[in-house]
Structures are given as structure tokens and as C-alpha cells.
Amino acid sequence: MTKVKLKLPVLFLFVVALVILPVLTMKFVSTEPSEEVTDYTMDEVIESELPVINQTTTIINPYTDPSVSIKKGYYDYKADEDSQLSSIVKHDNTYIQNTGIDYVGENTFDVVSILNGTIINVKDDEELGKSVEIKHDNGMISIYQSLSEVYVTKDTIVTQGLVIGKSGENKLDKDLGNHLHFEIYENGGEVNPLNYLNTEISLEKGN
């Protein structure tokens, strides 16, 4: 009888240990945080909360020479009479409203791209001289005429400030002598370049 009483508590404790120990072990493992899972979750949260940045840039002048100035401005229908008269091009007894800006300098000067873009046309016209057309990343088009030299070709990708040619002369407005005729088109129509140059714009197409 004595031997039986001594064995029962030992057996009982052994059975209890077999049942309770795995349960405690599972609870301990399941409640311990995993660094790998936590780090991944935090990265997802941080990335999803990052704001979308709207990229902008400032349009530069189509030249770098500080001696360059405007000789003839854009013809603005809303401008006063004196401004309109000074923006008329006379050619073979014909008066033409200026669709851009004419820049003159003391000497032949470098002509640069006002924004990043792609060359969509390079021409050599008898009346207008050599010209370059650039379509920019936001859909706007800039035109550079009366060039004496051109350093780019069609389909070339250009960056803002890249020298694309040099100022020159043309027959349409020969009284200006050495100059650059510059135009900007947006949504298919010409606009006053002065309303765009040295201003910040969005790089999103159509804005």
C-alpha cells in the first residue's frame, strides 16, 4: 500500500507536466513580436503616407548673354496703341502682327532651350532663316527663328539651358539685323512669351 501511494503523486505530476508545458510554450511563442513582420508593416505604412510631390520648374530666357534685350515685343490685342504699333512687322509694304518676341544683342549670342524637351523640327527658311522647334515635357512648344547656326537635329532630346544655336538674321525683319525671334505655343495657339518666361510651371502635361 505504501509503495502505491508514493507512485501516484509522481505519476500525476508527470501527466500534468505533459499537458501544461506545451500550452505554456505555445502561448509564449505566439505572444512574442516578430521584428521582421513589424518592420515590414511599418515600411508599408510609411510608404503609403508619403505625399505625392507635384514637380515644377522655372522657365528660363532663351539666351544667357546679359547684354541681350527686347527690340520688338509680342502683339497683344489688349495692349495700348503704342505697344501694338511697336509690335508690328513691316515686310514688302505689308504689316504683320508679331507672334513672338525679337531679342537683339551687342554681338551674336547663344540661343538656349527654355525647358527640357524634344526637337520636333529643324528648318532653313528663306524668309525666316534657320529655325528650331522644341516640344517640352508639359506639351508646350517653343520656336527659335532667325538663327545663323543650329547645333541640334530632329528627335534630339535636349535639357533646359542647352545651347541649340546662335542668333542671326532673316529677310522677314531684316532691319533688326542680328537677333533671335522667339515664340511659345500652348494648346495649339501662340501666347505672349513674357507671360511664361521666368515663371514656375508644373511639369505635368497640359498644365
CATH code, domain with 85: 2.70.70.10
For the stretch 101-138, pLDDT in tens is 999 998 999 999 999 999 999 999 888 899 999 999 88
The answer to whether residue 84 sits within a structural domain is: yes
pLDDT for residue 91: 66
Same domain, 34 and 117: no
Same domain, 74 and 44: no
Rounded to 5°, the CA angle 169-172-175 comes to 60
The answer to whether residue 206 sits within a structural domain is: no
pLDDT for residue 54: 63
The answer to whether residue 31 sits within a structural domain is: yes
Cell numbers describing residue 118: 524634344
Contact indicator for 89, 172 with CB cutoff of 8 Å: yes
Q: How far is CA 154 from the centre of its chain?
A: 20
Same domain, 85 and 173: yes
2 has a pLDDT exceeding 70: no
The answer to whether residue 12 sits within a structural domain is: yes
Radius of gyration (Cα) for the chain, nearest Å?
37
The answer to whether residue 67 sits within a structural domain is: yes
Same domain, 95 and 27: no
Q: Which residues contact 136 (CB under 8 A, 6 or more apart)?
A: 114, 115, 116, 117, 142
The helix/strand/coil state of 6 is helix
The answer to whether residue 98 sits within a structural domain is: yes
Cell numbers describing residue 11: 505519476
Same domain, 33 and 67: no
Same domain, 120 and 194: yes
Residue 84's pLDDT band, with cuts at 50, 70 and 90, is: confident
Same domain, 119 and 191: yes
Same domain, 104 and 181: yes
Same domain, 177 and 79: yes
pLDDT for residue 5: 47
Q: Which residues pair with 57 in a beta bridge?
A: 201
Domain count, the chain: 2
The answer to whether residue 205 sits within a structural domain is: no
Same domain, 154 and 190: yes
Same domain, 43 and 70: no
Q: Which domain range does residue 148 map to?
A: 56-200
145 has a pLDDT exceeding 50: yes
The CA-atom distances, in angstroms, between 194 and each of 62, 176, 184 are 12, 20, 10
Same domain, 173 and 126: yes
For the stretch 36-76, pLDDT in tens is 544 544 455 444 555 555 688 999 999 999 999 999 999 88
- How does DSSP classify residue 43? H
